[in-house]
A and B are shown apart, each in its own frame.
Chain A
Amino acid sequence: MTTTADASAVQAAQLQPHCPTYTALSPRELAAVRADFPILERTVRGGRRLVYLDSAATSQKPNPVLDAEQDFYEKRNAAVHRGAHQLAEEATEAFEDARASIARFVGADVGEIVWTSGATAAINLVAYGLSNATLGRGGDAARRFALAPGDEIVITEAEHHANIVPWQELAARTGAVVRWLGVDDDGRIRVDEAADVVTERTRVLAFTHASNVTGAITPVARLVARAREVGALTVLDACQSVPNIPVDLHALGVDFAAFSGHKMLGPTGVGVLYGRRELLEALPPVTTGGSMIEVVTMTETTYMPPPQRFEAGTQMVAQAVALGAAATYLSDLGMDAVAAHERELAADLLGVGDLPGVRIIGPSEATDRLAVVSFVVDGVHAHDVGQVLDDAGVAVRVGHHCAQPLHRRFGIAATARASASVYTTADDVAALRESLAGVRTFFSVA
């Protein structure tokens, strides 16, 4: 399938008078999407169909993404932002076009998109930028970022370790204190606690847009409003939201956001830091060296404006170009259609909670949540659950999903997690359900 045909198919579907505003993918469209993902054709564990339900860990990649990376190396590979030759021009154009695609995809301006090696690097970039500002780097403009002992950084109990540890480290370097919002029994962040926990002392409020464990979507506007009341910077972990629901960062009003390429059908090795333009302009650099400078003398250096200021050294150009293709692929499908498709899958996935001994960790209703469903099976450890599912070709994640505090909150060490993407089908969920139904029998606990 070509992405153009796909886009018109989605548009055609949306023009049907009997259809709701946002239709999910039709069976024909879904089949066409699946045909774009070569890996879905392979079998596992002795000839079983691959039922890939681990997209929240990393998504699979469609041909247009794979082709974009190959095509770049075959036809346009050159160093970007330098060189006077045609290849360098074309490579730079492809690289910057990809940035523009990403900016459009998440409702940002092109100068607000910084390439990073991934979301973890993006969050660390903000934390170390603040750290450098605290040390006086970046001059007067950066003073707004400086932290002092007694300042507070607020996170939540639902965070991925990548949105916890960098803030603990920043606090240790600056004397600031980390506080957090708790999580309800149904896995939702206790936004109400922000009224007490987010105060005039709060300098940073870092939180996830959607939990990679519970799938719960955070009411971003409420937290942004509270942060603004006290003048705190907001940092959004958008790793799970950007691949699965429409995200408009300007509309959300966050100051910074981070997301990874490999979870949104793109390659590994590339991610994105979004920063509001005026903030990126004031933020001192973190990684320094080539490509991010204006004038270098033997004693001092001046820096490029953002985003280049934060892109020292040779960038992951081919990966960025391919990530641009991933954004285009998703845009052509339409993120409303993708989200509608995954809402149906979320409801299907939540159905496993009806199986005897299976308990969902997270919201039990399909609203305001992603198709990311974690569960425990009474009497059977998650690792053992995953092994039995794997034997049926069903790939799920087991463990703490890089969210130990959240698991501790629920008094469990590990969960199994099934997560969907644009290529996931109701048949995939049915296969999960069928193999999951046999787990307790296999371990003689039912």
Chain B
Amino acid sequence: MSSLEQMYQQVILDHAKAPQGKGLVETAAGHVAGESHQVNPTCGDEVTLRVEVADVAGADGSSVPTVTGVSWEGQGCSISQASISVLHDLVSGRPVIEVERTGEVFRELMGSRGKGLDDADAEEELGDAVAFTGVAQYPARIKCALLGWAALKDSLVTAGVMTTKEQA
């Protein structure tokens, strides 16, 4: 497979063609929402991402802050659009604390220069997002893949549920 084909994996092309979660959704009553607008100034790509968070009863009966919905609007290249779509599928319905960790793992993957993470658990956690491994070979495109994830991190901050100190 050429570098180009490694970059544009079929799963990426599919998500780019039929992006998931596109179209901003109004926040349900009683749910907390966070929103973020991110721009890639080098190419003008942009996304507005809205995240909805609610306390959901966990297995042990405790209350777990959970991402109950992700919706977004934006325009950009296939990498940025597919990445947001994959993000949508990956984080919806998952506890905030896991979502944050997944975001960190994805950022690590993008810093791997295309070599991948050499960590089966981490790659398992990323699901379809592993398809972006090839993108990390192209420094100019890493920002495209991270655009939605930056918006997610920032929107969790605005929702007031971000637990890590580092800001988006």
Q: A400 — nearest CB in chain B belongs to which residue?
A: B44
Total interface residues on B, using CB and 8 Å? 20
CA distance A443 to B43 in the complex (A): 19
Which residues of the partner chain A approach B107 to less than 8 Å between Cβ atoms?
none
CB-CB contacts below 8 Å: B20-47 with A: 42-46
A384 pairs with B79, CB closer than 8 A: yes
A387 pairs with B7, CB closer than 8 A: yes
B13 pairs with A399, CB closer than 8 A: no
B2 at the interface (CB under 8 A from A): yes
Which residues of the partner chain A approach B44 to less than 8 Å between Cβ atoms?
399-400, 404, 407, 413-414
Using A381-B76, A383-B141 as known contacts, say yes or no to A399 and B4 having CB atoms under 8 A apart.
Answer: no
Which residues of the partner chain A approach B13 to less than 8 Å between Cβ atoms?
443-444
A381 pairs with B78, CB closer than 8 A: yes
Total interface residues on A, using CB and 8 Å? 20
Which residues of the partner chain A approach B46 to less than 8 Å between Cβ atoms?
413
Nearest-neighbour CB distance to chain A for B145, whole angstroms, equals 11
A413 pairs with B45, CB closer than 8 A: yes
B78 pairs with A384, CB closer than 8 A: yes
B43 pairs with A400, CB closer than 8 A: yes
B43 pairs with A414, CB closer than 8 A: yes
Nearest-neighbour CB distance to chain B for A384, whole angstroms, equals 5
Which residues of the partner chain B approach A380 to less than 8 Å between Cβ atoms?
78
Q: A388 — nearest CB in chain B belongs to which residue?
A: B4
Using A398-B43, A413-B75, A414-B44 as known contacts, say yes or no to A387 and B2 having CB atoms under 8 A apart.
Answer: no
Q: Select one of B3, B7, B43 contacting A382, CB under 8 A.
A: B43
Q: A392 — nearest CB in chain B belongs to which residue?
A: B4
Which residues of the partner chain B approach A388 to less than 8 Å between Cβ atoms?
4
Q: A442 — nearest CB in chain B belongs to which residue?
A: B8
Which residues of the partner chain B approach A400 to less than 8 Å between Cβ atoms?
43-44
Nearest-neighbour CB distance to chain B for A405, whole angstroms, equals 12
A45 at the interface (CB under 8 A from B): yes
Residue of A381, A407, A413, A414 with highest tally of chain B CB at under 10 A? A381
Which residues of the partner chain A approach B76 to less than 8 Å between Cβ atoms?
381, 383, 413
A381 pairs with B77, CB closer than 8 A: yes
A391 pairs with B77, CB closer than 8 A: no
CB-CB contacts below 8 Å: A356-382 with B: 380-382
Which residues of the partner chain B approach A384 to less than 8 Å between Cβ atoms?
8, 77-79
CA distance A414 to B43 in the complex (A): 6
Contact with B along A44-74 (1 / 0, CB 8 A): 0110000000000000000000000000000
B144 at the interface (CB under 8 A from A): yes
CA distance A399 to B141 in the complex (A): 12
Which residues of the partner chain A approach B2 to less than 8 Å between Cβ atoms?
391
Q: B78 — nearest CB in chain A belongs to which residue?
A: A384
Using A381-B78, A413-B75 as known contacts, say yes or no to A387 and B43 having CB atoms under 8 A apart.
Answer: no
Contact with B along A418-429 (1 / 0, CB 8 A): 000000000000
Q: A383 — nearest CB in chain B belongs to which residue?
A: B77
Q: B43 — nearest CB in chain A belongs to which residue?
A: A399
Which residues of the partner chain A approach B79 to less than 8 Å between Cβ atoms?
383-384
Using A413-B75, A443-B13 as known contacts, say yes or no to A383 and B4 having CB atoms under 8 A apart.
Answer: no
CA distance A286 to B138 in the complex (A): 41
Nearest-neighbour CB distance to chain B for A186, whole angstroms, equals 22
Q: Select one of B45, B78, B138, B141 contacting A443, CB under 8 A.
A: B78
Nearest-neighbour CB distance to chain B for A264, whole angstroms, equals 24
CA distance A391 to B76 in the complex (A): 20
Q: A380 — nearest CB in chain B belongs to which residue?
A: B78
Contact sample, A vs B, 29 pairs, CB 8 Å cutoff = A45-B3, A382-B43, A382-B77, A383-B43, A383-B45, A383-B76, A383-B77, A383-B79, A383-B144, A384-B8, A384-B77, A384-B78, A387-B8, A387-B141, A391-B2, A391-B4, A404-B44, A407-B44, A413-B43, A413-B44, A413-B75, A413-B76, A414-B44, A442-B4, A442-B8, A443-B8, A443-B78, A444-B13, A444-B17
Residues of A near any B CB (own CB < 8 A): 45-46, 380-384, 387-388, 391, 398-400, 404, 407, 413-414, 442-444
Closest 8 CB pairs of A and B: A383-B77, A381-B77, A413-B44, A391-B4, A399-B43, A400-B44, A384-B78, A384-B77
